[in-house]
Chain A
Amino acid sequence: MSLKALSELKIGHTATVEELKLPDEVQHHLMHMGFTPEALVLAVRRAPTGDPTVYAVDGMEVALRRETARWISVREFEEGSR
C-alpha cells in the first residue's frame, strides 16, 4: 500500500481515494461524480494524446486531466492487483 497522486496511478491499476486537495467547487463536483474518500478508482486508459486519463469510479467512466488528478491522493494496493 502506498500513497500517491491519482495522476501517477498506472493504467490497469486500482486504488482507493484518500483525499481531494482542490478548490471547494471542483471538489464538490468530483465527489458527486463518485470521487469520495474510500471510493475505488481504476485507471482505465489515457486519451490518445496522453492526457486526459479515463478513470472508472462507481461503475462510471470519468476523464480527468493530469493537472486535476494530481490533486487527488490515492492509496494503491499491491502492484497489478485489481
Chain B
Amino acid sequence: MSDCCATATIEIAPTPRVAGKIQTVALVGPPNSGKSTLFNRLTGLRQKVANYPGVTVEQHYGKLSGVGRGDLTLIDLPGIYSLNTSSEDARVAVDVLHGRMPGAPVPDAVLLVLDSLHLQRQLMLAAPILALGLPTLVLLNMSDLMETRGGEVDTLALARELGVPVAKISAARGTGLDSIRHFLDKKSEPVTVKPRLELPVMGNPRSYRQWATGISTRTKYKAPLSSEWTRKIDSVLLGRITGPLLFLAVVFGVFQIVFSVGLPVSNAFQTVLTGAGSKVGLLLGNGWLESLLIDGVWKGVSSVLVFLPQILLLFLFVGVLEDSGYLARAALIADRVMRAIGLNGKAFIPLLSAYACAVPAIMATRTIENKRDRFATILVAPFMTCSARLPIYMLMIAAFIPNKPLLGSFFGLQAAVMLSLYVLGFLAALATARLLKSSILKASSAPFILELPQYRVPTVRSLSLRLIDRGKVFVKQAGTVILCVTLVLWVLSHIPFHADLPQSIIGHVGQWIEPIIKPLGFNWKIGIGLLSSVIAREVIVGTLGTLYGADPATQSLSLQAALRHDLTLGGAMALVVFFAFAMQCTSTLAIVKRETNSWRWPALQFAYMSVLAYIAALATNVLISHFF
C-alpha cells in the first residue's frame, strides 16, 4: 500500500516562546536505550518502538499527556553514541539539538535517557550533551532490570558529579516518571554550566571514556550481571546448525501463518463485507445511487479492506521479531549472504520490513552508515514482495491456479505459485544489488558493526500500539485514496450515461493503450487497472472490481469468475509477474526522492523497474501460452 506504513510523524507547530518556561524538550540517548518507549509513555502517541539499534530514524514530535504540562512539545531524536559520528541518524540529532534543523523547534531542555544496564559506556554521551548547556535531566532507564540483576548506582552521587538531576525510571513499566514532571514543572533557570563539572576534552573518545569510568567508579556503579538467559538463548539461536535452521523456520513460519491462517480469516471477512453491502443495496433500491454506492464505492473499498487481517498478522510477526531482539540475530546470520551481493547484514532488516511495505523499509536504511550501501538498499527494497502486492496476487492465484496438493495437504500449488512470486522479487533484488554494487554504486563495503541487544519479551502494549497504528493507516488509505480512485473510475465508466462500458470515457482510454499491453496478454480493463495502480498497487483490485461490476456481461459474476471469463492463464500470470517487478507506488517514489535528496534516483528506479516488468511479463505470457 502506498504510504500505509509511513511512521506516525506528528507535525506540531512550534509554540511561541514564553520567557523562563520550558517549551520544547528533546529526548536524547544512545540507540536502544528505551527512548521511544519513554516517548510513547509520555505522549500517548504511537510511534515505532523496536528492540533493534537504530530503528528511530526520524525525529518525532508529540505533546505531553499526563506527565508535565500539556503544552510542552517533546522531540524524540534518533539514537546516538556521540555528537560526532558519521551516520545520518547522528546528524539529524545534532542538528535538532543545536537548533539548526529547519522547521524543528529549538529544544530548551533535554531528557537524557541512558540504559542503566550499560551505564558506564552510556555515560560517555553525557559529556557532549551536558556541554550543550541546556537544562538536563538524566534518566537511568531499565533501572528495575538493573536492580534485579544485582546492579547498583548512587543516583545522588551521580547527580553531584554531573551537576544535573538524575532519576531512575523504567519506561516499559512506567515507574519513576514523577521525576520528569518535577523537572518540567520547574521554571527553566538561566543556564550556567556548573563550575564543579569537569568535562573531558571534546571529541576524543578516549578522554570521554576515562571521564565516564571515573564517574562510574566514584558513584559506586556496579554493572548488573549480564543476562545468562540471552547467552543461553543465543547458543541455540546462533548455533552452528540450530541457528540457520531456526532462521529458515522463522521466515517460513511467517509466510505459512500469514497465508494459511490469514487467508481463511480474510475470506470470512469478505463474506461479511459483501453481505453487508448487499443488505444496504436492498434498502437503496435499484437506481443509480445503489450502483454508485454498492458497485462503485463499496466493492472497491471492501476488496482492499479484506486484506486487513493478513497485513495485521504480518506486522504482528515483524513486531514480535523486532521487539524480542531476534531481528539483530537475523542480521548476524544473514550477513554472509548479504555480503555476497555487496550489502551487509544491516540491510537485511530494511529488506525484511520491505516485505510489509517499502516506505518504512527505505526510511530504516538510514542506519546503514555507508552511503553507497544505503542507496543500493533503497533501490532494491521495492522489489521485495510488499503487502500491497498481496491483493492482486491472491486474486489472480485464487482465480486461475487450481489448489492441487503438492507436499500433502500442507503445501499446495497455490502456495507454490505465491512462494515463487516472493522468490522472483527476491532474486530481482539480489541481481539489481549486484548490478548496482559493481557499477554506479561501487565502493569498499562499510564496516559491519552490529549491537546485539538482550532478549526481551515484547510487551502487549507496544505490539498493540503498532498494530493499531498500521491498521489505521491502511484503513485510512483504503478509505481515502482508494475511495477517490474508485469514485472517479465509476463516474468515468458511467459517462456518457446509459452507454455500455466500452463506449465510456474509461473504455476509450483503455482501448487506446491496449495495443501496448496486448503482447502481455492484457485487455483494456487490465490496462485501466495498471494506470490506476500507479498510485498504489492494491488499487488495481478495487479498479477491476468496479470495471467488471459495471460491465453487464460480468456484472452477476464474482470478480474471480469475471477474470476467468476475460483473461488467459498466460495473461493472468503475466499480470502478477508485472506486479512483482513494476514500481507502482507513488509513496515509495516520494520517499526515495526524500531519502536520496534527488529526483535522479526515483526516476532511474521507476524506469528500470517498468522496463524489467514489461519484459518479464511479456516473457511469461509467451512461455505460458506456448506450453499450456
Q: Which of A's residues lie within 8 Å of B, judged by CB?
A: 22, 25-26, 28-34, 36-37, 44-45, 47-52, 54, 56, 58-65, 67-68
Contact = CB atoms under 8 A, between A and B. Distances in A.
Given A47-B336, A49-B333, A65-B447, A31 B209 contact: yes
Nearest to A22: B447
A31 B205 contact: yes
Interface residues of B, number: 40
A33 B231 contact: no
B234 A45 contact: yes
B464 interface: no
A29 to B, nearest CB: 6
Most chain A CB within a 10 A radius of its CB, from B86, B124, B332: B332
Contact of B85 (A28, A37, A62): A28
Contacts of B451: 33, 60-63
Contact of A29 (B86, B226, B239): B86
Interface string B216-250: 00000001101000110011001111011000000
Interface string B438-482: 000000000111111000000000000000000000000000000
Nearest to A31: B205
Given A28-B85, A51-B336, A62 B452 contact: yes
Contacts of A65: 335, 339, 447-448
Contact of B450 (A31, A37, A51, A63): A63
Contact of B82 (A32, A34, A37, A44): A32
B385 interface: no
Contacts of A45: 234-235, 238
A31 B223 CA distance: 19
Contacts of B84: 28
Given A33-B121, A48-B333, A59-B121, 17 more contacts: A25-B86, A29-B85, A29-B369, A31-B209, A32-B81, A36-B206, A47-B336, A52-B332, A58-B118, A60-B118, A60-B121, A62-B451, A63-B332, A63-B335, A65-B339, A65-B448, A68-B448
Nearest to B32: A60
A59 B120 CA distance: 9
A23 to B, nearest CB: 9
B582 interface: no
Nearest to B328: A63
Contacts of A29: 81, 85-86, 369, 447, 449
| Main DSSP-derived SS at the A contact region | mixed
B449 A30 contact: yes
A26 B449 CA distance: 9
A60 to B, nearest CB: 5
Contacts of B244: 48-49
B117 interface: yes
Nearest to B237: A48
A50 B124 CA distance: 32
Nearest to B230: A61
Contacts of A48: 238-241, 243-244, 333
Contact of B206 (A31, A49, A51, A68): A31
A58 to B, nearest CB: 5
B81 A47 contact: no
B240 A58 contact: no
16 contacts: A37-B206, A45-B235, A48-B244, A49-B244, A54-B332, A58-B118, A59-B120, A59-B223, A59-B224, A60-B118, A62-B449, A62-B452, A63-B448, A63-B449, A65-B335, A68-B449
Interface string B240-266: 110110000000000000000000000
Contacts of A60: 118, 121, 451
B71 to A, nearest CB: 35
Contact of B121 (A34, A49, A67): A34
B449 A64 contact: yes
Contacts of A52: 332, 335, 345, 448, 450
Interface in B519-567: none
Contacts of A26: 447, 449
Contact of B120 (A33, A47, A58, A68): A58
A37 B124 CA distance: 15
Given A22-B447, A31-B205, A47 B335 contact: yes
B449 A54 contact: no
Given A47-B332, A58-B121, A32 B450 contact: no
A56 B554 CA distance: 65
Contact of B452 (A36, A54, A68): A54
B143 to A, nearest CB: 15
Contacts of B124: 32
Contacts of A49: 244, 333, 335-337
Contacts of B450: 52, 62-63
Q: A-B pairs with the 8 shortest C-beta distances?
A: A31-B205, A32-B81, A48-B243, A49-B336, A61-B452, A63-B450, A25-B86, A68-B447
B121 A47 contact: no
Contacts of B82: 28, 32
Given A47-B333, A58-B121, A28 B234 contact: no
Contacts of B241: 48
Nearest to A63: B450
Contacts of A67: 447
A36 B204 CA distance: 11
A61 B450 CA distance: 8
A43 B136 CA distance: 37
Contacts of B120: 58-59
Contacts of B447: 22, 26, 29, 64-65, 67-68
Nearest to A58: B121
Contacts of B332: 47, 52, 54, 63
Instruction: Please indicate which of the listed interface residues B81, B85, B241 has the most CB atoms of chain A within 10 Å of its own CB.
Output: B81
Nearest to B117: A59
Contacts of B239: 48
Contacts of B206: 31, 36-37
A25 B205 CA distance: 12
A29 B79 CA distance: 13
Nearest to A27: B205
A25 to B, nearest CB: 4
Contacts of A61: 230, 451-452
Contacts of B234: 44-45, 54
Interface in B323-343: 332-333, 335-337, 339
B205 A32 contact: yes
A65 B450 CA distance: 10
